[in-house]
Structure 1
C-alpha cells in the first residue's frame, strides 16, 4: 500500500444529489490524481445509501464512516489503518482537536473546503476575538489551508473566524460546459403539461424560506394577476421543509394553472435548455450560487438576489440581472423586461456563457484543488 494515501470526507450522505454532485465530481478528480501517482484514494460519508455513478470503475474506495460522531480513538485507528497522509474535508471548522488526532495518526496535509452559506459572524467582544486569533494560529489544531468558494466566504473566515488570510485560497465552484451543449433530451411542455404557447420561468432550490421561493411565487402572482402576463408559466424544482407552505401559497394566489411543483431533479442542465428565464431569489447570505452559473452556462438569462457570494458573479445588466433580496416587484419587473426585450435577453445569454467559460470552469476548479495537495 502507498504511503501517500488521501481520504476525502463528505458531510452529507452519499446519495444526496444535485448541488452535492459537484462536490462528488471534485472527490473523483482529486482521488484519481492520487491513484494516478500509485496511491490509494478513499471517500467516506456519514451514510452510504447510494454510490454515485461517477465512482463506478474509478478505483476510489467508498466507505461509511461518520467523522462527526465517532470517537477520536476510532478516527485515529481508521486513519492509521488506511495509512492516510492527506485529508480533504468539506465544511469543517478552522480549529479542532480532530486535526491534532489526524496528525498523530500520520496525516501530513489537511485541507478544508468551505462551501457553507451563512452570515459573517464577527466576534462580539475583544476577548472572544483575541481567543479566536490565538486558537487559529496553532498549527496542530488548524488545517494547513482552507479553500473557499467566494471572496465573501473568505471574508467570513478572516473576520469571523480570525483565521490567517494567507492560508485561505478562493476556488470558485465550476460547471462542466459540455453538459449544457446540444438539444434537450425531452420537451418541458410535454413532460410537465405546460401549454405550448407559454414561456417558462424557472426556479430551482431547496424548499426553504431562506431560499426566497415565497418571493418567486409572489412575483408570479404579480405577473399573472396584475400585469396580465398569461403568456408565462412558472416551473419550480426542489423539495424541503417549507414545501407545503409554498403549495398552499400558490393555491391562495390562484396560480395553479400557471405554476408547477416538479420536485427534485438531477437533470437541471436538461431542464435549463428549455426555459426562458431563471430566477435565484435567495434572501440569506449564500456562499456562492451554483444555479446562477449553471443558468449562464445554459445561455439562460438569470435574475439573482444580490447577496453573499452570489453578489460576486454577475455584472448587472450585462451577463445577468440583480435584484434586492425579498423584493417580488423587482423580480417581476426583471422577468418582464427579459421577456419583452429580445436584444437584452440575447446580450445577457451571450455574455453569461462567455463569463462561465472564462471564470467558472469545473476543470480549472478541480485542478486548483489538486494543486493544493501537490504544491
Structure 2
C-alpha cells in the first residue's frame, strides 16, 4: 500500500513524542513493504527540502507565516494570535496537500499534529476522497498552545472568547476524518465531550514504542539512588519545579541520590546555570534515541513531573520495558499506563511533600518494575493499522 504521512515536525527537527511516533509508524510501514512519503515543515531559509530517512521519502516546506512553527515561542503574544489564525486558514497548505496527494496517490493519508503546517489539511484530504486516519496527540485542537495546566483549568485564558472561537473553528475545519486514533481514554473523552469528530470511527489505541527488554539494574539499599528525567526542559513539563524539590530534599536529608536531567528546551540554559555546581543534580543535553536505553539502564527510577495534562508519555513505556519504575504526576492519561502494584508511584502535581515521600520510598526500597509494558510494538501497531485502510480499499 501507499501512504502519505503529514506531521508538523519530522527528523531532524523532532521535539517530542508525537514526532517520534510519526517517524516510528512511517519507518515500520516501510519495513513491512509499504511505500511511504512524509509531508512536513522546515525553517524558512535552511534545511533540506527533500530527503530520504530509513526508506521514508521526506518532503519539507515552509508554510508562509510570521515564523516557522519551531520558533513560535519567540514571537510576542499579539503576533502569536495572528500566527495561529493564519495557520488555521492557510490556503497555501490546502493547495500543497492536494498536490502532494495527487503525486503520491496514496491509499490513505495519516495525519498527526498539524499545528504549524495548517488546519486546512483535513478539508483538502476530504476533497480528494482519500481515506483519512488522524492520530490525536494532545489537546491542541481545543487549546491553541496544546497546554492545559493543572490548577488553571478555569483560568481566564481557558474561558476567554478567543479560545472558544478557536475550538469551534477547529471542530468545523477537522469535521470527521474516517478514523481517529486516541492513545488514551483521557483524550477520547476530552474531545468527545466537546463535540469533535462526531461521525468518525473512534478508536483508543496506545501509541507504538520501540521496546527492548534489557536486564534491569539491580540496586541494593545504601547504593546511590539514580533518578532520571528524559524530556523537554519546559516549565509545563514540571522539571524546573522538580529539580528545585529534589535539591531541597537533598539539602534536608543528605541522601545518596543523584538527579540526571536529559533533554532540550527553553529552560535548558537556566537549569544548566542553576545546577552547574550542584552535588546532586546534573543537567545534560538531549539524547539520541539509541542512547535512551543506555541511560535507562543506569536509572533506579524515572520521573515524569508534568504540570500539564499529558497524553501517554512514551518515556513511561520505555522505562517499563527496561524494568525501571516511574514516579509521575497523577494527571491526564498518565494513570492509564502506570501500575502502583508493580512499583510505580504517583504524586499530585506540584505537591512538594508527596514528591519527597516518593523519593524517600525509592531510596529506602530498591526495586525493579514488575508489571507489563502495555504498549504496542511498532510491528503490532502497524498490523492493526492496515485493516483500517484495507476495508476502504476493497
Q: Deviations over 1:236-268 (max 9, x none)?
A: 0011112233335436xxx61221111101111
In structure 2, the CA distance between the partners of 1:221 and 1:103, relative to structure 1 (3 Å rule), is: closer
Aligned pairs for 1:137-176 within 5 A:
141-164=175-198, 167-176=201-210
- Map of 2:36 onto structure 1: 41
1:25 counterpart residue number? 24
Query: How many Å separate the matches in 1 of 2:240 and 2:20?
Result: 26
Counterparts of 1:72 and 1:364 in 2: how far apart (Å)? 33
2:12 alignment partner, one of 11, 15, 19: 15
Q: In the TM superposition, what is the alpha-carbon distance from 1:147 to its structure 2 partner? A: 0.8
Of residues 250, 259, 269 in structure 2, which corresponds to 1:234? 259
The residue aligned with 1:291 is 315
Q: Is the 8 A contact 2:176 2:199 kept in 1?
A: no
For residues 135 and 286 of structure 1, do their structure 2 counterparts lie closer, same or farther at Cα, with a shift above 3 Å needed? closer
Of 281-290 and 95-104, deviating more is 95-104
**1:75 matched to which residue of 2?**
97
Deviation at residue 23 of structure 1 after TM alignment: 2.4
Aligned pairs, how many?
335
- Deviation sequence 1:36-82 (CA, Å, 0-9, x none): 4xxx421122129479x9933x3x32222457663433332332233
2:176–2:200 contact (8 Å) kept in structure 1:
no
Question: TM-score w.r.t. structure 1 length?
Answer: 0.77
Q: Which residue does 2:59 correspond to in 1?
A: 63
Which residue, out of 125, 128, 134, partners 1:102? Answer: 125
The unaligned stretches of length 5 or more in structure 2 are 64-86, 140-146
Question: Cα 1:71–1:172, aligned 2, differ >3 Å: closer, same or farther?
Answer: closer
After superposition, the Cα gap between the structure-2 partners of 1:317 and 1:327, relative to the gap in structure 1 and judged at 3 Å, is: farther
Q: What is the deviation of 1:338?
A: 1.4
* Match in the other structure for 1:190: none
> Retained in 2: the 8 A contact 1:92–1:114?
no
Match of 2:370 among 334, 350, 357: 350
Instruction: Supply the distance in 2 between the matched residues of 1:54 and 1:78 (Cα, whole angstroms).
Output: 16
CA contact under 8 A between 2:208 and 2:378: conserved in structure 1?
yes
Match of 1:262 in 2: 284
**Separation in structure 2 between the aligned mates of residue 269 and residue 81 of structure 1, nearest angstrom:** 39
8 Å Cα contact 1:109-1:144 kept in structure 2: yes
2:345 match: 321
| Distance in 1 (alpha carbons) for counterparts of 2:250 and 2:205 | 40
1:221 aligns with 2:247: yes
Is 1:372 the counterpart of 2:388? The answer is: yes
| Alignment pair present for 1:340 and 2:364 | yes
Q: Is the 8 A contact 1:14 1:45 kept in 2?
A: no
User: For 2:171 and 2:306, how far apart are their aligned partners in 1?
Assistant: 33
Aligned equivalents of 1:282 and 1:134: distance in 2?
Answer: 26
- The two structures have a TM-score, normalised by structure 2, of 0.73
Q: Alignment partner of 1:226: what SS?
A: helix
| Partner of residue 275, structure 2 | 250
Instruction: Please state whether the residue corresponding to 1:350 is helix, strand or coil.
Output: coil
- State the partner residue of 2:304: 280
Q: After TM superposition, where is structure 1 displaced by more than 6 Å over at least 4 residues in a row? A: 120-125
Alignment of 1:118-137 (within 5 A): 118-119=147-148
Could you say which residue in structure 1 is the equivalent of 2:78? none
The verdict on how the C-alpha distance between 1:183 and 1:154 changes in structure 2, with shifts beyond 3 A counting, is: closer
How many angstroms apart in 2 are the aligned matches of 1:201 and 1:165?
Answer: 45
Distance of 2:216 and 2:361 partners within structure 1: 26
From 205, 211, 231, the counterpart of 1:177: 211
> Any idea what SS the aligned residue of 2:189 has?
helix
- Note the C-alpha offset of 1:166: 5.7
Counterpart CA distance in 2 for 1:246 and 1:364 is 39
Partner of 1:189: none
The aligned residue for residue 212 of structure 1 is 238
**Distance in 1 of aligned mates of 2:303 and 2:214:** 21
